[in-house]
């Protein structure tokens, strides 16, 4: 579990001062369970708008999902979080924070690995879990959050006003996104089922039909990472690599863990260091894995550009 700061250490990224004098009910009196009306239950949190969710956490627990576009496990977890929040029908609000786009919040929550899930209860962050977990386990965690919230006097709920706000009306008027190409849709559906073999096969078919299908190339890289990590014991993987620093397979597995946990520079650095002293056959394996990582993270990401430069210097 990653280190989550207390409320005071979030200052600077978000302002908690308004919550410092939060009124508690007199001893022996039961606080009312307030209800607020909101446009929805799921929001995108940013460095600019996050304070409103801290205030909202006085009424209802706010679940914070720290994720990134390139993070494969995040794509597994986020839909489960959304389903569970919707099922609780106003007992929670979900705020999704893209750590790459919101560095202040990422730093404030010390999100060293992603996905990281935190609850805000009465303005105070409480760590929940790191990494993708099964939906049933998510529900069990949420039940524990409700118990903690009740102990801290946060017993309210929110209702959804389907007609609230011009912004929502504007969203409704936006055209529906175009459907995915058939092989992409089949791959996406397979990932939702946890059937990574089928997803890989579908992306490969898409690439065979169009070698310039960048989305299929990136999708294949992401689902290949998910397949390699499925059922892996992180502790055993790291122990194996530590016991034999020259074991290329173990190093590649640890790099997978680093990348999936958000430690992008660590994953790149580990493989580039290994590449520098490897023979030609091993270099081919490492280079193929690095190229896959570049697709997962995004070829325009500054960390990818830096790693590509170092790889080129080692090649030539």
Give tens-digit pLDDT for 287-304. Answer: 999 999 998 888 888 888
Q: In this structure, are residues 197 and 204 in contact, taking their beta carbons and an 8 Å threshold?
A: no
DSSP characters over 97-136? EETTT-HHHHHHTT--SSSEEEEEETTEEEEEEES---HH
Which residues have C-beta within 8 Å of that of residue 75, sequence separation ≥ 6? 191, 222
Cα–Cα dist 263/247, whole Å: 21
Give tens-digit pLDDT for 220-231. Answer: 988 898 889 888
Global pTM value: 0.56
Query: Domain extents for the chain?
Result: 7-170, 182-315
Cα–Cα dist 103/13, whole Å: 9
Q: Is the pLDDT of residue 16 over 80?
A: no
**C-alpha distances in angstroms, 164 versus 26, 138, 172, 184?**
35, 29, 12, 35
- For the question of residue 74 being annotated catalytic, the response is yes
Question: Which homologous superfamily is 7-170 in?
Answer: Glutaredoxin (3.40.30.10)
Catalytic residue among 74, 77, 248, 278: 74
Catalytic residue among 41, 62, 63, 71: 71
Q: Considering only 60-64, 88-92, 110-114, 193-197, which range has the smallest mean pLDDT?
A: 110-114
Give tens-digit pLDDT for 157-193. Answer: 888 876 554 344 344 444 555 687 899 889 888 887 8
- For the question of residue 116 being annotated catalytic, the response is no
Cα–Cα dist 249/256, whole Å: 11
Q: Does residue 178 or residue 244 have the better pLDDT?
A: 244
pLDDT recorded at residue 120: 93
């Amino acid at each position: 579990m990653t280190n989550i700061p207390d409320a005071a250490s979030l200052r600077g990224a978000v302002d908690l001062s308004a919550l410092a004098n939060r009124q508690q009910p007199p001893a022996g009196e039961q606080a009312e369970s307030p209800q607020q009306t909101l446009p929805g239950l799921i929001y995108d949190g940013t460095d600019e708008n996050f304070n409103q969710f801290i205030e909202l956490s006085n009424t209802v627990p706010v679940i914070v999902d720290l994720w990134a576009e390139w993070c494969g496990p995040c794509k597994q977890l986020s839909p489960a979080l959304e389903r569970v929040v919707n099922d609780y029908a106003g007992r929670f609000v979900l705020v999704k924070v893209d750590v790459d786009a919101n560095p202040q919040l990422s730093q404030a929550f010390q999100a060293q690995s992603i996905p990281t899930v935190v609850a805000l209860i009465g303005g105070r962050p409480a760590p929940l879990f790191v990494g993708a977990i099964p939906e049933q386990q998510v529900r069990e965690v949420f039940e524990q959050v409700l118990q903690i919230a009740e102990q801290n006097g946060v017993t309210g709920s929110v209702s959804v006003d389907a007609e609230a706000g011009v912004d929502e009306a504007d969203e409704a008027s936006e055209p529906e996104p175009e459907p995915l190409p058939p092989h992409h849709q089949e791959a996406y559906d397979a990932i939702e089922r946890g059937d990574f073999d089928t997803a890989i096969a579908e992306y490969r078919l898409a690439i065979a039909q169009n070698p310039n299908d960048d989305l299929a190339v990136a999708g294949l890289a992401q689902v290949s990472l998910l397949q390699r990590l499925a059922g892996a014991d992180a502790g055993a993987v790291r122990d194996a690599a530590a016991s034999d620093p020259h074991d290329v397979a173990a190093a590649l597995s640890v790099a997978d863990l680093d990348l999936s946990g958000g430690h992008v520079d660590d994953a790149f650095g580990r493989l580039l260091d290994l590449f520098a002293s490897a023979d030609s056959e091993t270099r081919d394996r490492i280079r193929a894995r690095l190229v896959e990582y570049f697709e997962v993270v995004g070829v325009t990401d500054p960390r990818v550009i830096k790693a590509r430069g170092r790889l080129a210097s080692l090649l030539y």
